[in-house]
A and B are shown apart, each in its own frame.
Chain A
Amino acid sequence: DAEITQSPRHKITETGRQVTLACHQTWNHNNMFWYRQDLGHGLRLIHYSYGVHDTNKGEVSDGYSVSRSNTEDLPLTLESAASSQTSVYFCASSQQGRGYEQYFGPGTRLTVT
């Protein structure tokens, strides 16, 4: 069955370290998204991509970067982790032209100490 996976599921890192969160989908979806979820803030869009080599900034992109070298993967990198980036991160994907129906991964809980 097609699916979307995230790894690791839990990560503890130190302030200032570079961290990469993986997202892999097997639906062959063109659209992929990264969100962070914090209490009281719902889901906030970090970066998104509409296809290979396409990346776009979301509303909370500072301190994060993504690259899209193939259809299946959109890794999220925290260049220099900060305590404010402690959060639960969700990756999602959607079919081209149907971005409003997004399929979410299980999430990665990141703690920055």
Chain B
Amino acid sequence: QQQVKQSPQSLIVQKGGIPIINCAYENTAFDYFPWYQQFPGKGPALLIAIRPDVSEKKEGRFTISFNKSAKQFSLHIMDSQPGDSATYFCAASDLSTNAGKSTFGDGTTLTVKP
């Protein structure tokens, strides 16, 4: 079964809009949730990450919101720009037993129109 479900599969917004990408997980042992950004022809790159002891984390225009009781987390991109057009992956890790592994969502392809 898929342990991390990501939605939507694709998303189109106008410049300045606030795209939101959602992820849900099943394994309550997950305790670290990174997001990766991937541009065409490149490998994914770590963007921002959150641990479940906080409900929100901001880095520049990128914000992660975390809802532990619902087992959901989401990425918001404020004042989105065409340069943010990329594929975004959420992931989850269980640091206690699988310190080296992350389980990835299927990805969201974001297009920001000028």
Residues of A at the B interface (CB closer than 8 Å) are: 31, 33, 35, 40-45, 48, 50, 90, 92, 94, 96-107
Contacts and interface: CB of A to CB of B under 8 A. Distances in A.
A19 B8 CA distance: 35
Given A100-B32, A101-B46, A42 B99 contact: no
12 contacts: A33-B101, A40-B9, A42-B106, A43-B89, A43-B107, A45-B101, A97-B99, A100-B93, A100-B95, A104-B36, A106-B41, A106-B42
B102 interface: yes
Nearest to B109: A39
Interface of B: 6, 9, 32, 34, 36, 41-46, 49, 89, 91, 93, 95, 98-102, 104-107
A104 B100 contact: no
Contact of B44 (A43, A45, A98): A43
B49 A101 contact: yes
A48 B102 CA distance: 11
B93 A42 contact: no
